[in-house]
């Protein structure tokens, strides 16, 4: 799951760096670095990394520029939440993208940050051990063990 989060952080950072470069904001490398590291903090990371971007946009271009920055951040995180997370986590955890989206949504609603952090690993473990292990697999293994070898 860490590898998937790293890929998502890189995508998020790249999209943000492109957006703030187009906006003409200064300190793109610094802001992109903040976005990258904050990508590993569930929920709060978005707000932490958005604060300096919005403040610089406000300072450079006024309220209109800050609203554009907020819109940019919203669009990037929409893409991340509804397209990148399910696709990338689904691929790395061998889970259906829709199931990933459901687990993240339900886990976040019921358990908050802990549901977002632990939801996918727990469901992946349960799915991998309880559901994927079929009784016929165990019967086949028992049959192989009971074959005389001598």
Most confident of 61-65, 112-116, 127-131, 132-136: 61-65
Of 143 and 82, the one with more pLDDT = 82
What pLDDT band is residue 34 in, cutting at 50, 70 and 90? Answer: very high
Q: Please state, in angstroms and rounded to a whole number, the distance separating the CA atoms of residues 32 and 29.
A: 5
- The residue behind tokens 């349960």 is 126
Q: What is the reported pLDDT for 73?
A: 95
| pLDDT for position 147 | 53
pLDDT beyond 70 at 138 = no
Whole-prediction pTM: 0.68
Per-residue pLDDT at 51 exceeds 90? yes
Contact, 17 vs 32, CB < 8 A? yes
């Amino acid at each position: 799951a860490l590898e998937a989060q790293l890929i998502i952080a890189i995508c998020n950072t790249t999209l943000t760096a492109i957006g703030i470069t187009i906006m003409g904001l200064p300190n793109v490398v610094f802001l992109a670095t903040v976005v990258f590291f904050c990508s590993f903090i569930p929920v709060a990371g978005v707000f932490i990394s958005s604060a300096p971007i919005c403040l610089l946009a406000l300072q450079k271009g006024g309220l209109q520029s800050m609203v554009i920055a907020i819109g940019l951040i919203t669009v990037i995180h929409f893409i991340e939440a509804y397209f990148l997370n399910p696709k990338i986590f689904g691929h790395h955890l061998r889970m259906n993208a829709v199931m990933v989206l459901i687990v993240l949504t339900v886990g976040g609603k019921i358990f908050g940050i802990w549901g977002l952090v632990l939801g996918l690993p727990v469901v992946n473990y349960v799915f991998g051990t309880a559901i994927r292990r079929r009784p016929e697999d165990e019967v086949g293994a028992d049959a192989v063990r009971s074959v005389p070898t001598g």
